[in-house]
Structure 1
Amino acid sequence: MKKNFEEFRRFIKDKKTAVVGIGVSNRPLIDFLLSLGAKVTAFDKKNESQLGEIAEEFRKKNVKLVLGEDYLHNLNDFQVIFKTPSMRIDNPYLAKAKQEGAYITSEMEEFIKYCPAEVYGVTGSDGKTTTTTIIYNILRNHGYKTWVGGNIGTPLFPQIDKMKNEDKVVLELSSFQLMTMDVSPEIAVITNISPNHLDIHKDMKEYINAKKNIFRYQDKNSLLVLNRENDIVNSMVSEAPGSVRQFSSKRILNKGGYLKNNNLYIDDDEVCKIGEVRIRGMHNVENFLAAFCAVEDYVDVEDMRKVALDFQGVEHRCEFVKTVDGVKYYNDSIASSPTRTLAGLRAFEKPVILIAGGYDKKIPFDVLAEEGYKKIKALILMGDTKYKIKGAFDKLKDEKGVEVPITMVDSLREAVERARQLADKGDIITLSPACASFDMFPNFEVRGRNFKKIVSEL
């Protein structure tokens, strides 16, 4: 049962409140909490000079700032603490604060709790953003006032007063956001699960358990959409508190989303032909089928069809950049795991020159070598993981005699220059790193835009 936001308004007034992290998403939260009468202290690892004008602006608003390397040492005597999603709940400073009686939460938890509109939540190791965006577009196309947030879009909690019961909200939710949730969206989608973020999660079991929070607190009237072809996700069917609808790109289902004779179906209704879907790749067909399952009860098949035919994809996801000297360049910077890179490789009709490597999330690359080698003409490796990825392909050579030409480089620019030298007319070059970006770039968007800039200058 949704709570009335007036409860939160009364609860937070005059409370001594800490907000941990002064990133882009938490800045509107701080302003919102101030408008509700909370007494806010903002914590961040950055110092005042690194924060620049932001620090000055908050001081003018009477926000206390606790900054620098030891910023968490002062997380004492607060009644409410909003943590940043990637901060583990068992962080010793948070654990101590909780023991002392602090209410520890996050913006997303409070938003789902009090949001008056119906909430669609999308999670998974790959395909979250695209599926979230497709659902948003279909609902909006039908005529609903629709909001999008979570990992994408703008922070929604500060806009909660503007939302109505008849609106729809679509959230992309990461395992970090879900990890401490004790509330679930009415409609939940899990696109797939494979090893990811094991630099933050203790192990795969904890990662899977975090994902399950997207449906764990649903009721009998809720809907859970699951991938029939992902063993981990398919095993969750029996745990669903409400209804389950599944999707599959490999078998015909009695109900749900599926492929039949190269057409996309929802239940008995044909939505469109596979060739009419504008964005390439079977992984994107699966994203559409998942979205159809989520929205089926609220829209027409024609709404689904229109979006399938018009949707051009999201930036940094198998995004065509440019053709240079007969060679096509694609930006798939979102691919921060081996399975996501594999999905991108399968979208192309021929082996590609692959630029990969980056920050180490402590996940293995064997699957990229074993399942990806047929789709790779040449491999150019950069970043912290380049030797780890090379090791997976060396193992493949030793065990199966399969050799993929590998070049090691020290920068993205050098990777593009080397790829260009290796390419023949008609080739495809794709940046699809199989890793996060944090060794060289602040995020995958910056990495992708750097790649596009380098290619545009060729």
Structure 2
Amino acid sequence: MLKNLVSDLKQYKSIGIFGFGVEGKSFYNFAQKYLPGTELVIIDKNHPSCDENYLKKLDAVELVIKSPGISLYNLGIEHTSYNFSSTTELLLKHFKHQIIGVTGTKGKSTLVTLIDSLLKNAGKKSILCGNIGIPAFDMLEEISAETNIVMELSSHQLLHATHSPHIAILTNLFEEHLDYYKDVHEYYEAKFNIYRYQSKKDIFIYNLGQKLERGYNVFDNELKFSVDFSLQNGFIHKSTLQILEKLKEILALGDEAYMQALNTFQTLPHRMEFVKEIQGVSYINDSIATIPQATIEAVKILKNVDTLIIGGNDRGVHYEVLIDFLLTSDVANIILFSDTGKKIYDALHVKEKQKNLFLQKNLQESVKKAYNIARKIVLFSPAASSFNEYKNFAERGDEFKRVVNQLKG
């Protein structure tokens, strides 16, 4: 498989690395070792070798390895204008039959972590990679013919993909990333690529509980299973158990490995993560909640949330469902900050007089306000992305924990 991948890439005399972030650097390191005769051209506006005309370098290479963080739509570039590929596409092409791929708006990281644990507890060789943090190309030398490759796949990684994994899992779909795609349908279509190119003998596990304007209607699999998913946010829901049980059956794994995977599972950071109790008040970090539905689910799970902190980058997501939920919820104190916080504050201020609404300057001031008014649970579940103020949701969650840990007990 690795041999075929290298042979595939050796046909190109020059390869452009479009975006020199985590995945771009991973491919660069791989290419330096396995493609010594290939010219590598870095195409990134933030790289020292590039200037404001960096996009012109696209014309000078035979193949472009595009990083998932780059939106061609926002750059006004048609995908057909150049010979684009990606590390995800290359892995799906050459290692398809070993890949268990998981995508969806929410619940991906929890699920792939459990699947990887299930396989390892059953004595199977497994690596966990993809959007969860470890680039697949960093782990190529660890992959043998017996290795299961468990991949968390984002919509950005799947966009324009023309290969699908042998086992594909689609958890759920909600509006997100509307700053990256031309509309929500393009976002959904990117997710659908996880199964679009499967054969009839491949396996597709999906959710038909959701009614979408464009539904799941592009598959011919003989092996397909419908599961009623719910958002996960770090907790093991019935839907997750159904998936693991189905995989246990498909892969002929034992009950002992299944129970061990469940018993040893720990909530991932920034997903309903307990931070600290101060003067009887629990502080919960749910920075992973980047859409309204995730925040709603978090409030429902915890039940006793009296203080909720919301706010982040405005990507054009609709917030009516969250606003309607908050109006009828038991949350007494709603603290809002940043772009979306202002938008939700304005909407609630008009409709609601019974809630205590606070519009704050930033996350730090929001935590301090919560410290002064909360009596039960402070939940930081922003319902928005972080990119206007933080590098990612993890950096934002770390900031929340840092400020909470500075509060006086």
Do Structure 1 and Structure 2 share a fold, with TM-score over 0.5?
A: yes
Question: Where does residue 323 of structure 1 map in the other structure?
Answer: 277
* Cα 1:280–1:111 shift into 2, 3 Å: closer
Instruction: Report the Cα distance in structure 2 between the residues aligned to 1:213 and 1:193, rounded to whole angstroms.
Output: 13
For 1:410, the aligned partner's letter is K
1:223-281 deviation line (CA, Å, top 9, x unaligned):
1111243233994267343421122369xxxxxxxxxxxxxxxxxxxxxxxxxx9x975
Query: Which of 59, 62, 75 is the aligned partner of 2:58?
Result: 75
Q: Secondary structure at the match of 1:363?
A: coil
Structure 1 window deviating more from structure 2 (192-201 vs 233-242): it is 233-242
- Counterpart amino acid of residue 211 in structure 1: K
Superposition pairs for residues 16-35 of structure 1, below 5 Å?
Answer: 16-35=14-33
Q: Over aligned residue pairs, what C-alpha RMSD do you find?
A: 2.5
Q: How does 1:19-418 map to 2 (within 5 A)?
A: 19-37=17-35, 38-48=38-48, 65=49, 67-89=50-72, 94-95=77-78, 98-99=80-81, 102-115=82-95, 118-232=98-212, 235-236=215-216, 239-248=219-228, 281=235, 284-298=237-251, 299-373=253-327, 374-394=329-349, 396-397=351-352, 403-418=354-369
In structure 1, distance between residues paired with 2:91 and 2:315: 29
Distance 1:205 1:292, change over 3 A: same
Q: 1:305 to 1:357 in 2, by over 3 A?
A: same
- Provide, for residues 336-370 of structure 1, a one-character-per-residue CA deviation record: whole Å limited to 9, x for no partner: 11011112111112233111100011101111121
Q: How does 1:437-452 map to 2 (within 5 A)?
A: 437-452=386-401
Q: Which residue identity lines up with residue 297 of structure 1 in the other structure?
A: I
**Residue of structure 2 equivalent to 1:255:** none
Aligned length: 401
Does structure 1 retain, via aligned residues, the 8 Å contact 2:349–2:357?
no
Unaligned runs of 5+ in 1: 49-64, 251-276
- Once residues 366 and 289 of structure 2 are traced to their aligned partners in structure 1, the CA distance between those partners, rounded to angstroms, is 17
**Unmatched segments (≥5 aa) in structure 2:** none
1:98-147 CA distance string (max 9 Å, x none):
54xx5210011001111276111111111111111111111111111111
Alignment-mate amino acid for residue 338 of structure 2:
G
Alpha carbons of structure 1 residues 233 and 301: separation in structure 2 relative to 1, 3 Å: farther
* Greater alpha carbon shift after TM alignment, 376-385 vs 297-306: 297-306
> Which secondary structure state, in structure 1, belongs to the residue aligned with residue 302 of structure 2?
coil
Q: Normalising by structure 2, what TM-score?
A: 0.91
Cα distance, 1:304–1:395 mapped onto 2, change above 3 Å:
farther
Larger RCO, structure (CA 8 Å, separation 6 or more): 2
SS in 2 for 1:248: coil
| 1:14-40 Cα shifts (integer Å, max 9, x gaps) | 620100111122212101112122210
**Aligned partner of residue 437 in structure 1, secondary structure:** coil
- Deviation string 1:381-405 (CA, Å, 9 cap, x unpaired) is 11121221123424653xxxx7432
Q: Distance in 2 between matches of 1:132 and 1:15?
A: 36
2:226 alignment partner AA? Q
The equivalent of 2:405 in structure 1 is 456
Mapped contact 1:437–1:447 kept (Cα < 8 A) = yes
Q: What is the SS of the residue equivalent to 1:441?
A: coil
Structure 1 distance, partners of 2:359, 2:152, is 35
What SS is found at the alignment partner of 2:59? coil
Residues 46 and 69 of structure 1 are in contact (CA less than 8 Å); yes or no, is this contact kept in structure 2? no
| Inter-CA distance 356–68: structure 2 relative to 1 (3 Å threshold) | farther
